[in-house]
Structure 1
Amino acid sequence: MKDWDAYNTTTRARGKELSGLHPELVKGFGALARGAATTQHLDAKTRELIALAVAVTTRCDGCIDAHVRKAKVAGASKAEMAEALGVAIALNAGAAFTYSLHVLDAAGDETAAE
């Protein structure tokens, strides 16, 4: 398993490096994140549970690290996180099912000889 504290420390250091190399990019990313966090109808815990489900579906370790930390601060329990992950798992399975239909469509109407 991953050492998330070490991962966080390393990621923050590399983020500072990127900020030094391309400050406008990092400033824009920060603005996007702040904009997404400014909501009228969703509370912080709900936003973070959604973020965790998206982090899993996009396979983003940095997102998982950041949003687990934020979800805890927002009061999310491990059980609530698990329920959000259930949604992510179901959607990933749904996407695999749907894209499997694309494969069948791409294969055409002919059946291969058995």
Structure 2
Amino acid sequence: MRPNMIKNAHDLILDMEKNFSDINNKSENKGKVFQDFLDEVFKDSHLDAKTKALIGVALSVQKQCKWCITYSVNLALKNGATKEEIHEAGWVAVALGGFSAYTYMQILAKSLNDLTK
């Protein structure tokens, strides 16, 4: 997947929000239950929210999920992570995941570029 083939990160996030809302409405609010779970997991506790979001970035690159990468980059930025911290989290995934994870760094880079404009 070439970086210019990836939808603008802002648009991807808006699409996810709309689609999740539609799915939730058709699924007796099961999506809300999941979102409540995510909110609970990602709040400050033994690990702060920024650290958890950076873990999410690394796992998203490792899992090779463009939606997850964009969501996690956005969450990390909202929780005060710097571009450098986000890149470094991505490189942790590459260190463990090899070339296939490396190819998803282009999505991380594009998401960062789009979301920090």
Residue 15 (structure 2) aligned to one of 5, 10, 14: 10
Q: CA deviation at 1:60?
A: 2.0
> What is the TM-score with the length of structure 1 in the denominator?
0.72
Output the CA distance in 2 between the equivalents of 1:38 and 1:79: 22
Partner deviation per Cα, 1:51-100 (whole Å, 9 max, x = no partner): 0001111122222222211211211111111111111011113xxxxxxx
Q: Name the structure 2 match of 1:26.
A: 31
- 2:47 partner SS: coil
Unaligned 5+ segments in structure 2 are 99-117
Bigger mean CA deviation after superposition, 48-57 or 1-10? 1-10
Equivalences, count:
93
Output the CA distance in 2 between the equivalents of 1:75 and 1:31: 21
Output the CA distance in 1 between the equivalents of 2:27 and 2:62: 28
Unaligned 5+ segments in structure 1 are 94-114
Output the CA distance in 2 between the equivalents of 1:15 and 1:40: 26
Q: CA deviation at 1:39?
A: 4.6
Q: CA 1:45–1:38 in structure 2 vs 1: closer, same or farther (change >3 Å)?
A: closer
Q: Name the structure 1 match of 2:70.
A: 65
How high is the sequence identity, in percent, across the aligned residues? 29
- 2:69 partner SS: helix
Q: Which has the larger radius of gyration?
A: 1
| RMSD between superposed Cα atoms in Å | 1.6
Partner deviation per Cα, 1:15-72 (whole Å, 9 max, x = no partner): 1110111134212311321231245221111111100001111122222222211211
Output the CA distance in 2 between the equivalents of 1:46 and 1:91: 18
Question: Which aligned runs of 4 or more in structure 1 are off by greater than 2 angstroms?
Answer: none
